[in-house]
Amino acid sequence: MTALCEIRGLSVTYRGEAAPALGGIDLDIHAGERLAIIGESGSGKSTFARALAGLLPEGARVAGHMRWTAGSSPQPGRDLGFVFQDPTASLNPVLTVGEQVGEGARRHLGLSWKAAHSLAVEMLEKVRLPDPERTAKAFPHQLSGGQRQRVAIAAALACGPGMLVADEATSALDMVVQAEIVALLGDLVGAAGMTLLFITHDIALASGFADRVAIFRKGALVEAGPTRAVLAAPEAAYTKTLIASHRDLATPPLIRAVAPLIRAVAP
């Protein structure tokens, strides 16, 4: 597979911090793949996503390099779309949904307001929002959390970027909505042949979805590889722990089958 980006020795230290948030990362991102970056809080997974997207805050020191095969770094908003965890914070509350979905296309593609509006409506339809014409005129607070995240995805994809970074894009949503959004992301990315960087704390969510996984812990890359290989035969002890601490409906319960006091009064 062709590398879209070769990352070597990447370290990031935030302003005022002594220790790096991310250190010595070597990782290739392949064109057209779904790569899941998996880690708990403090693992550096969001820092990695932001470094890649050029979205680090001012004063952050970056060492090492990211070599993009295309020659230059992707332009955020145009070549690279970003979906954040909390659509309530990432969407502008005073712009209509249509305005913000079309805004990037106006700026980066030089579309007129009218053309940007038509594109926005088309994008809202693509993310399967009901009645796109009407939704385009709504404000973010008039939508549900799941609908707002669909709007954020529509905005991120409006310029037709080659790469989408989704940073915990479903973790503020309830599970039913999460499943819908993950399916939507998979369909959209697949249809457009885009590269997807899927940042998550949930190894199970990634397991059913990603081509490759990279496990991060405390600012370091623990291991990376094809999803099935890593999950079936994890090399790092930490990956084994993550797999073992996963809980789903088949995991044995922590309680005994009957409540203690009920058991006490039963004959």
Partner 1 sequence: MTLLSAESLAKRYAGGGVTALDGVSLHLSAGETLGLAGASGSGKSTLARVLTRLVEPDVGSIRFAGEDWLALSGAPLRRRRAKMQMVFQDVLGAFNPRATVASVLEDPLRIHGIVPKGERARAVAALLDRVGLPAAYAGRSIRAVSGGERQRIAIARAIATHPALIVLDEAVSALDVSVREKILELLVTLQEERGIAYLFVSHDLSVLAAVAHRIAIMEAGRIVETGPTARVIADPQSPAARALVRAVPRLVIA
Cα dihedral 50, 179, 212, 19 sign? positive
Instruction: Please report how close the Cβ of residue 227 comes to partner 1 at its closest, in angstroms.
Output: 8
Radius of gyration for the alpha carbons in the chain, expressed in angstroms and rounded: 21
- Helix 145-157 to helix 97-109 angle (10° resolution) is 10
Instruction: Please report how close the Cβ of residue 15 comes to partner 1 at its closest, in angstroms.
Output: 20
* Footprint on this chain of partner 1 (rule: CB under 8 A): 40-41, 144-146, 173-179, 201-205, 207-208, 227-228, 231-232, 241-243, 245-251, 253-255, 257-262, 265
SS3 220: strand
Instruction: Please report how close the Cβ of residue 180 comes to partner 1 at its closest, in angstroms.
Output: 9
Residue length of the chain: 267
Comparison of 158 and 182: residue with beta carbon closer to partner 1:
182
* Residue owning tokens 């502008």: 92
Comparison of 107 and 263: residue with beta carbon closer to partner 1:
263
Comparison of 192 and 243: residue with beta carbon closer to partner 1:
243
Instruction: Please report how close the Cβ of residue 239 comes to partner 1 at its closest, in angstroms.
Output: 12
Comparison of 100 and 200: residue with beta carbon closer to partner 1:
200
Q: How many helices (H) and strands (E) does the chain have?
A: 11, 9
Q: Exposed, middle or buried by CB within 10 Å (0-12, 13-18, 19+), for 266?
A: exposed
Comparison of 13 and 147: residue with beta carbon closer to partner 1:
147
Comparison of 94 and 249: residue with beta carbon closer to partner 1:
249
Instruction: Please report how close the Cβ of residue 24 comes to partner 1 at its closest, in angstroms.
Output: 23
Instruction: Please report how close the Cβ of residue 46 comes to partner 1 at its closest, in angstroms.
Output: 14
Return the amino acid letter for 84: F
Joined tokens for residue 254: 């922590």
**Terminal CA-to-CA distance of the chain, rounded, Å?**
66
What is the C-alpha separation between 256 and 95, in angstroms, rounded?
52
